[in-house]
Amino acid sequence: MAMTRKKPINLALQGGGAHGAFTWGVLDALLEDGRVHVEGISGTSAGAMNGVVVADGLMRGGEDGARQALSDFWHAVSDAGRFSPLQRSLIDIFMGNWSLDNNPAYLFFDLMNRLASPYDMNPFDVNPLRDILDEFVDFERVRSCDEMKIFISATNVETGRVKVFNRRELTLDMVMASACLPFLFKAVEIDDVPYWDGGYMGNPVLFPFFQTCSSEDILIVQINPIERPGTPRTAREILNRVNEITFNGSLMKELRAIDFVRRLIEDGRLDRKDYRRINLHMVEAQDEIAPLGASSKLNAEWTFLRYLFAIGRDTALDWLDRHYDDLGQRSTVDMRALFQGTENEQQELARALQ
């Protein structure tokens, strides 16, 4: 029996705290399935951590090594959170609720984040994830990984612009900068420049793929809900929705630009010799993830991480079975439905393009 040819693909991995375990499941499925070759990874925050763990694992033991490295990393994350005061309440456990909304420590923590800065509340800048990454990832090995390209995004605090760190220069500080939430941790300074979480300006960035990777397929692992029906009414609901919109904003702009160029190419108004027609794909499970709530992003309980992992695996395997043949041929994301909304909005856009 002839072996199925591996198709090249680029992965765009969003950040989302513990919800990054969903991405772990997606990566595990792709690596095990073997029908795609990951040419490049662009990651932010938890997506950045998943990306460097994969690169390190690939160098140590190929695809099986990458799968094992991811499992070890997320198990260590869970172990580190075992004695944290941020645990589910007995009521939440009984009700099967994964959020921490009823945990007194979380409520106090959430309130203090709005009243005091990490320079007051966390003067020693303690971040357990830093120690875990330092232990489980050899960044010299990551920098030498010739299996794939890696792009990690952070936000320059002074300029408000995105900074993209590539694989050849990657350090532990750069990954921690990509995951630096400004209400929890001090800005990470690299060459005397302060950086915050990359999600503000790129969650994640897509543009590095265009000139450095040959594959024209980008698979976005979507964690943060794009749509959420209903009007947020409590202060926490409003803040959480603002964060979701903010952390998707830069990605949506890039997707809109890609779709605009694609339509101009299809209409014959741009020459394919000068412009690339990017095929966009998306793996998401919003029916399962959206109801979890923002506080569950701090839930490092192993049972919860495995729950997200299983959803990610199943979703990715289903996507591969349905869309493997589409890779290299067409987009599998309905961009017009994603962007153009109502029929009136579609008509207004059509008039603007005439």
- pLDDT tens figures, 277-311: 899 999 999 999 999 989 999 999 999 999 999 99
Q: Round to whole Å and give the CA distance between 41 and 26.
A: 13
pLDDT at 46 over 90: yes
Lookup: tokens for 86: 């941020």
> For the chain, what is the mean pLDDT?
90
Query: What pLDDT score was predicted for residue 342?
Result: 44
C-beta contacts of 250-256 below 8 A and 24+ residues apart: 250/162, 250/200, 250/201, 250/202, 250/203, 250/205, 251/12, 251/14, 251/202, 251/203, 251/204, 251/206, 251/220, 252/226, 252/339, 254/205, 254/206, 254/207, 255/206, 255/280, 255/335, 255/338, 255/339, 256/339
pLDDT > 70 fraction of the chain, expressed in percent and rounded:
94
Q: Is the pLDDT of residue 242 over 70?
A: yes
* pLDDT tens by residue, 74-92: 999 999 998 888 889 888 8
Cis amide prior to 182 (ω within 30 degrees): no
Q: pLDDT tens digits, residue range 172-215?
A: 999 999 999 999 999 999 999 999 999 999 899 999 999 899 99
Q: CA-CA distance, 322 to 16, in Å (whole number)? A: 26
Distance (Å, whole) CA 111 – CA 107: 6
> What mean pLDDT is predicted for residues 234-244?
88
C-alpha–C-alpha distance, residues 331 and 317, integer Å: 18
> What is the identity of the amino acid at 28?
D
Mean pLDDT calculated for residue range 108-137: 90
Q: Give residue 345's pLDDT band: very low, low, confident or very high (50, 70, 90).
A: low
Q: What is the DSSP letter of 278?
A: P
DSSP string, 124-151: T---HHHHHHHHH--HHHHHT--S-EEE
Quick check: 134 pLDDT over 90?
yes
Q: pLDDT at residue 1 above 50?
A: no
CA distance 257 to 179: 26
Q: Which residues contact 48 (CB under 8 A, 6 or more apart)?
A: 13, 15, 152, 153, 175, 178, 179, 198, 204
